[in-house]
């Protein structure tokens, strides 16, 4: 898997360098994509110094968030409410606040090491009206075992997971859906199905929803349940491939324990 992610980082880094990314010059993209996985470093993002935990996931995040603008939407009010579940080191938060300066942003990141980088990076951009929670989102307020992968794939622990496992606090997402939400982002590495099921009767308060669906190896697939929840809440949706085997009848290699991932864009 490390080879696959390194290849992904090289391809993305080369693409960003060709098109011109939000940091200065191709040389910096080259430096980043040649770093080993999980090698902490700093770089420049929109003329601000930011700290990153892993160059491969940083390059992938920059390509998706700032180049492809995956989270872009048309606002209907000057202060949209955005709930970002799985904020990582803050790239999505920086995008939202640059794109919608008046937005009210609530962000969750359970990994304490990544949360520290999130706080530092948002401070570098002097962002306001951002509430940060060093918690997972879940179906109850509790404590959960968490696999701290160290980049963009940390998750609530699955059966058979081996270190690094830590304990993290969790908050019930349903309790946050008490008012109209302009954008709900769920990138929570496999917990999305049960969390959406718990929130199903409150999703009518959400205008648009981004879900990264994950299919863990050897676990029941639940995409049909996610889509049924979205349809039942009145959403239309589109699916974009995030990770899939090129020849699944021949081989189904996993990506950090996930055999398939899809980005779901749900809207009204």
Domain boundary among 31, 53, 68: 68
pLDDT at 21: 56
Where residue 148 falls (left for φ over 0; alpha for ψ -120 to 50; beta otherwise) is: beta
Q: Are residues 38 and 87 in the same domain?
A: no
Q: Are residues 79 and 100 in the same domain?
A: yes
Domain boundary among 68, 86, 109: 68
Q: Are residues 79 and 209 in the same domain?
A: yes
Q: Are residues 132 and 61 in the same domain?
A: no
pLDDT at 24: 61
In this structure, what CATH number is given to the domain that contains residue 85? 3.40.50.150
pLDDT at 116: 98
CA distance 174 to 265: 20
Q: Are residues 13 and 80 in the same domain?
A: no
Q: Which domain holds residue 35?
A: 1-68
Decide: 122 and 89 in contact? Cβ < 8 Å.
no
Residue pLDDT tens, the chain, 268 long: 434 444 444 444 444 444 445 766 788 989 999 999 999 999 999 999 999 999 999 999 999 999 999 999 999 899 999 999 999 999 999 999 999 999 999 999 999 999 999 999 999 999 988 999 999 999 999 999 999 998 988 999 988 787 789 999 999 999 999 999 999 999 999 999 999 999 999 999 999 999 999 999 989 999 999 999 999 999 999 999 999 999 999 999 998 889 999 999 999 9
* Count of domains for the chain: 2
Q: Are residues 256 and 238 in the same domain?
A: yes
CA distance 3 to 37: 10
Q: Are residues 98 and 50 in the same domain?
A: no
Q: Are residues 155 and 46 in the same domain?
A: no
Q: Are residues 79 and 61 in the same domain?
A: no
For residue 25, give both structure tokens. 């010059």
Q: Are residues 64 and 104 in the same domain?
A: no
pLDDT at 103: 97
Q: Are residues 127 and 256 in the same domain?
A: yes
Query: Is the previous residue joined to 164 through a cis bond, with omega within 30 degrees of 0?
Result: yes
Q: Are residues 83 and 64 in the same domain?
A: no
């Amino acid at each position: 898997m490390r080879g696959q992610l390194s290849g992904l980082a090289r391809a993305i880094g080369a693409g960003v360098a060709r098109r011109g990314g939000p940091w200065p010059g191709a040389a910096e993209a080259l430096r980043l994509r040649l770093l080993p996985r999980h090698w902490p470093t700093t770089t420049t993002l929109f003329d601000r110094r930011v700290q990153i935990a892993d160059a491969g996931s940083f390059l992938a995040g920059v390509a998706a968030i700032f180049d492809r603008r995956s989270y872009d939407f048309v606002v209907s009010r000057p202060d949209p409410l955005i709930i970002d579940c799985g904020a990582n080191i803050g790239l999505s938060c920086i995008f939202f606040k640059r794109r919608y300066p008046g937005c009210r942003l609530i962000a969750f990141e359970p990994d304490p090491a990544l949360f520290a980088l999130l706080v530092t990076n948002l401070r570098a951009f002097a962002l306001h009206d951002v509430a940060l929670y060093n918690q997972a989102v879940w179906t109850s307020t509790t404590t959960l075992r968490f696999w701290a992968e160290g980049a963009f794939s940390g998750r609530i622990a699955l059966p058979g997971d081996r270190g690094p496992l830590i304990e993290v606090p969790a908050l019930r997402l349903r309790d946050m859906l008490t008012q109209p939400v302009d954008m709900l982002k769920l990138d929570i590495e496999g917990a999305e199905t049960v969390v959406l099921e718990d929130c199903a009767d409150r999703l009518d308060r959400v205008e648009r929803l981004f879900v990264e669906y994950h299919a863990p190896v050897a676990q029941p697939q639940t995409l049909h349940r996610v889509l049924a929840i979205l349809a039942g809440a009145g959403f239309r949706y589109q699916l974009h491939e995030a990770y899939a085997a090129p020849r699944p009848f021949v081989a189904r290699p996993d990506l950090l324990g996930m055999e398939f991932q899809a980005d779901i864009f749900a809207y009204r």
